Structure 1
Amino acid sequence: MGRRRKGRDISGWMVVDKPSGPTSTAVVNKVRWALDAKKAGHAGTLDPAATGVLAIALGEATKTVPYVTDALKAYEFTVRLGQATNTDDAEGEIIAESALRPDDAQIKEALSAFVGDIEQVPPQYSAVKIDGERAYKRARDGEEMEIAARPLYVESLLLIDRPNADHVVLELTCGKGGYVRSIARDLGQTLGCLGHVRALRRIWSGPFDASDALTLDQIDAMAQTPALDEHLRPLEEAFVSLPEVKATREGATRLRNGNPGMVLASDVDYGDECWASYDGRAIAIGRYKSGELHPSRVLNIKN
């Protein structure tokens, strides 16, 4: 019989302004320790060098992670023109250079090709699995791989600053699965000048914004005190695009036991995915059918 993980049964979201350096997993572990939480996870990895919004799910909120990872998110990033690297960012080795520098008008024109439903090839140094092994592990061994292109929805890609001839600052709003490093690489190739990511910051992710995030220093200062609990955000914030239905008293009891339960609904159709609340708290996620919610996930929030 496995040993039970110690910690509090605490549920909700902690939004962290991740600094450059630590991995996303290290940040999750820090938050779990600081809150003495039994269970934690994150909604979308940031590379160690990247900064910005890392949404940490605690307890039952881990069941709602897909609704944040599937939501739109935005990045501000700096592209270094004139150089390609083997990692498509500043952490790698320079593998090619170009003296060409496009002007702002040329850059803006090129950006339009990256908006909408596009196909994107992940970087060689990425967590994509190739024959069961992470691409970055094979790349570190000097292997060059054919990585299949993947679909990505890009809502917008804007030029927001041009500090000098070698650098451009862009803002990307996209769906799930986007690689900013691939955008920088492909833009450089399109412009004929090469390029890689120099700096990257996630400015919002679904319902969570960098302006509402805590730094690791702030988390350290409030660690394992009631003051940090006050920054825990409700689990329900994850349901940014999921409709709500309200369970009846009897329906709530049935839903908590994993059975279909009666709900009151106005803006949902038969078969729609939605979440059910009772007394203002989420109790289940499922499909609405003929006045009942058929649960796929039951949420047992104790705090």
Structure 2
Amino acid sequence: MINAPRPPSRTYHGKIAAPERWALFRPRVGDVVVCAPPKSGTTWTQGIVAMLLAGDPGVDAQISTRAPWLDVARPDWAELEAALDAQHGVRQVKTHTPFDGIPVWPDLRYICVYRHPLDVHFSFRAHVSHMTQEVLQDIFPADVSESVRIFLDGAHIDGASLSSILDHYRSALALEPAENVLRLHYADMRRDVRGAVARIAAHIGVGVAPDVLDAVAEAARFSSMKKNAGRFAVAARQGFWRDDADFFDSGTSGKWEGQLDAPALDAYDQRMSDLLTKPERSCLEWGLSGS
């Protein structure tokens, strides 16, 4: 018997997301929800969770089908539900909707991941450029200055604006301390992959022998994920990407440095200062380990 969730307190709308789908989800005790803004380390974290749940660094994660984006707007809910129901034991799903827009069950394990907002934007730009179809070109135009202006001024739509990232981050902070929510940062994960894998394993209740932990950590490195994109990329082997390996673009941070003029940087700085305290901003931009 699963305990009742804390219900959503806010409704989010977008072109891609459909948070009302959470009302159809039938959770199991221990299910894992990876909840993060887009391009912040969601798929990376899901890949780690898949390897830990399988106890196998060579698992074919099949992120799109076995660990689906639960509240993406698409017509195949019955198919998604059947695939989840057919899985034995603990499952995982993902969402980009902030915590105040989804139910939070005390019996589920939640993992949120954050990244420097400007890195998110530039990673999203690369992400869109690797697709075989033109989508989201209106909010990620080729002109960098216009793209960043939209990012800074845009409303909360599908996680693609600064406001959407900050909404998500603040929704996670509002839950703390919460025993069933683990907050990670992209920069910390890059600095210590093994430590991140160990924290995730402990959080989802998976016991891992040291040699398996080492193997999962090695398989979770960016170069390995990119090499094995067919197993780990979203929509892998479906022709959605020019090359599945391009889903994992570079894994680097600071791609925005030297790309933005002073007015854009000043506007970003002002928004961040207005909406976050200094400690909150530091953790969102640089992680718990600092800049």
TM above 0.5:
no
TM-score (norm 2): 0.21
Bigger relative contact order, structure 1 or 2 (CA pairs below 8 A, ≥6 apart)? 2
Name which one, 1 or 2, has greater alpha-carbon Rg.
1
TM-score (norm 1): 0.20
